[in-house]
């Protein structure tokens, strides 16, 4: 980008008076060569004696001077054209490079926008279908008393508190939640194991009110607490949360 800005600035300066810098430099060089040649020719004429300044010698010197001037002009303009062509090639190469980079940026931006759109649609569909979280709990064991090897049964006041958490976008709103519980060795279908928050299901109970916790990367967790005090069997818990964006 710096090269292109420098080149454009140089081109804009060179076209201000209608003559590029390279052509102007060639003209100055040719003029300097002509002046130098004329100076040497005059000096040569003065240094020669009168009898040696014959007509033929003067004509030859004039022809040599004109040839030198012509050669200088041709060489200067050829060099100027070469430099001008080099500048045009460099400008064309930079333009092609910028065009390719622009096309790459446009393609990447399009992919990102499509990915964002697809991600939002997928997240919305996921929220409508619901996200299920499953937790397995062992049987509750009471606190060991003294040197006894057996653990007493758990009472409700000794219940183990666990949280069943479902991750979702931070700006999502919960539309509904379904709760399920069955013994850990049961093959009962989930639809037949639905329970209600606050209902005693035989040594366990879901809390009615959820708790939302912020998570990383623009997400949060919606957690439902479960109190477990069944000392005979473990339980498998399942919470299906549906949300809207």
Q: List, for residues 216-231, the tens digit of each pLDDT value.
A: 778 899 999 999 999 8
Q: Which residues make beta-bridge pairs with 223?
A: 165, 211
Contacts of residue 231, defined as CB under 8 A and 6 or more positions apart, other chains included, come to 139, 140, 141, 142, 151, 153, 154, 203
Contacts of residue 162, defined as CB under 8 A and 6 or more positions apart, other chains included, come to 135, 137, 225, 226, 228, 237
Strands 211-214 and 219-228: antiparallel
- List the one residue out of 211, 213, 242 whose CA is nearest residue 225: 211
Q: Please check whether residues 13 and 62 belong to one and the same domain.
A: yes
Residue 193's domain comprises 130-244
- Residue whose token pair is 């339980």: 235
Considering the entire predicted model, what is its pTM? 0.50
* Residue that is last in its domain, among 110, 126, 142: 126
Q: Please check whether residues 58 and 156 belong to one and the same domain.
A: no
Q: Please check whether residues 122 and 174 belong to one and the same domain.
A: no
* Residue that is last in its domain, among 97, 126, 155: 126
pLDDT at res. 34: 65
Q: What is the tally of structural domains in the chain? A: 2
Q: Please check whether residues 92 and 163 belong to one and the same domain.
A: no
pLDDT at res. 176: 93
Of residues 82 and 136, more confidently modeled: 136
Q: Please check whether residues 141 and 116 belong to one and the same domain.
A: no
Q: Please check whether residues 198 and 118 belong to one and the same domain.
A: no
Q: Please check whether residues 12 and 82 belong to one and the same domain.
A: yes
Q: Please check whether residues 12 and 106 belong to one and the same domain.
A: yes
> What is the mean pLDDT of the segment spanning 31-41?
65
* Residue that is last in its domain, among 126, 151, 175: 126
For the chain, what percent of residues have pLDDT higher than 90? Answer: 27
Contacts of residue 145, defined as CB under 8 A and 6 or more positions apart, other chains included, come to 152
Compute and round to an integer the Cα radius of gyration of the chain.
46
Q: List, for residues 92-125, the tens digit of each pLDDT value.
A: 777 787 777 767 776 666 666 555 555 567 778 8
Query: 3: pLDDT confidence band, cut at 50, 70 and 90?
Result: very low
pLDDT at res. 15: 41
Helix ranges (H only) for the chain are: 2-14, 21-47, 55-129
What's the mean pLDDT when you consider all of the chain? 75
Q: List, for residues 144-171, the tens digit of each pLDDT value.
A: 665 556 667 888 888 889 999 999 999 9
């Amino acid at each position: 980008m710096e090269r292109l800005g420098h080149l454009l600035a140089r081109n804009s300066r060179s076209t201000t008076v209608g003559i590029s810098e390279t052509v102007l430099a060639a003209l100055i060089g040719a003029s300097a060569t002509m002046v130098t040649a004329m100076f040497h020719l005059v000096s040569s004429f003065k240094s020669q004696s009168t009898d040696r300044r014959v007509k033929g010698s003067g004509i030859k010197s004039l022809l040599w001077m004109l040839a030198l001037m012509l050669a200088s002009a041709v060489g200067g303009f050829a060099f100027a054209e070469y430099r001008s062509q080099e500048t045009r090639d460099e400008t064309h190469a930079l333009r092609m490079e910028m065009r390719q980079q622009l096309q790459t940026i446009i393609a990447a931006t399009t992919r990102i926008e499509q990915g964002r759109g697809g991600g939002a649609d997928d997240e919305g569909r996921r929220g409508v279908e619901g996200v299920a979280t499953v937790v397995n709990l062992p049987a509750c064991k009471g606190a060991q008393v003294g040197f006894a090897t057996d653990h007493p049964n758990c009472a409700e006041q000794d219940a183990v508190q666990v949280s069943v958490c479902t991750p979702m976008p931070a700006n999502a709103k919960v539309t509904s939640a379904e709760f399920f519980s069955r013994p850990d060795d049961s093959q009962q279908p989930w639809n037949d194991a639905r329970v209600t928050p606050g209902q005693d299901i035989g040594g366990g109970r879901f809390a009615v009110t959820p708790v939302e916790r912020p998570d990383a990367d623009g997400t949060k967790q919606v957690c439902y607490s479960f109190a477990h005090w069944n000392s005979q069997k473990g339980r498998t818990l399942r919470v299906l949360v549906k949300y809207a964006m």
